[in-house]
C-alpha cells in the first residue's frame, strides 16, 4: 500500500508492505534545524529537463546555483501542487526561475 500527498506547498508519502501492513514507513526530510514528514513541493530539473532534485534538496541546489549565477538554464518549480492539480492537455507550465 502506498499513499502520496502532492500538496500545493508541502508533499509527503507513506507506504507499507503486505506481509507487515501494520507498519507504516514514512520518509523523514531534514529541513534545516528540524525533521519533518513533508517536503516543500518544489522541483528542480537539469538544463536537459531531466530530474535533478525535489523538496528541500531542490531549494538548496537552486540557491547554490543562483549564488554562482549558474541557475539560468535550470527549471525550478515552486508550489508544484498548484500547477499539477489543474493540469490537463494544452496547459503550458512555466518555471519560477528568477
Rg of the chain over Cα atoms, rounded to whole angstroms, equals 16
Give percent above pLDDT 90 in the chain.
30
pLDDT at 96 over 80: no
Question: Is the residue at 61 inside a domain?
Answer: yes
* Residue 92 DSSP code: -
Please report whether residue 49 resides in a domain.
yes
Q: How far apart are CA 40 and CA 53, in angstroms?
A: 11
Of 6-10, 48-52, 57-61, 83-87, which range is least confident?
Answer: 83-87
Residue 92 lies in a domain: no
Q: Which residue range(s) make up the domain with 41?
A: 2-84
Cα–Cα distance, 61 to 42 (Å, whole number): 11
Q: Taking the model in full, what pTM does it have? A: 0.70
pLDDT of residue 85: 59
Q: Does 94 reside within a domain?
A: no
- CA nearest neighbour of 52 among 43, 64, 60: 43
Task: List all residues 6 or more positions away from 33 whose beta carbon is below 8 Å from its beta carbon.
Answer: none
In the chain, the number of structural domains is: 1
Is residue 17 assigned to a domain? yes
Cell of 98: 528568477
pLDDT, tens digit (0-9, with 9 covering 90-100), for 56-93:
999 999 999 999 999 999 999 988 777 665 545 454 55
Is residue 46 domain-resident?
yes
- pLDDT on residue 48: 96
Amino acid at each position: 500500500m502506498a499513499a502520496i500527498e502532492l500538496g500545493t506547498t508541502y508533499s509527503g508519502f507513506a507506504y507499507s508492505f503486505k506481509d507487515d501492513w501494520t507498519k507504516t514507513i514514512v520518509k523523514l526530510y531534514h529541513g534545516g534545524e528540524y525533521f519533518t514528514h513533508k517536503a516543500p513541493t518544489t522541483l528542480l530539473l537539469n538544463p536537459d529537463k531531466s530530474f535533478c532534485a525535489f523538496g528541500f534538496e531542490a531549494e538548496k541546489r537552486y540557491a547554490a546555483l543562483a549564488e554562482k549565477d549558474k541557475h539560468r538554464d535550470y527549471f525550478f518549480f515552486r508550489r508544484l501542487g498548484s500547477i499539477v492539480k489543474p493540469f490537463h492537455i494544452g496547459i503550458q507550465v512555466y518555471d519560477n526561475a528568477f
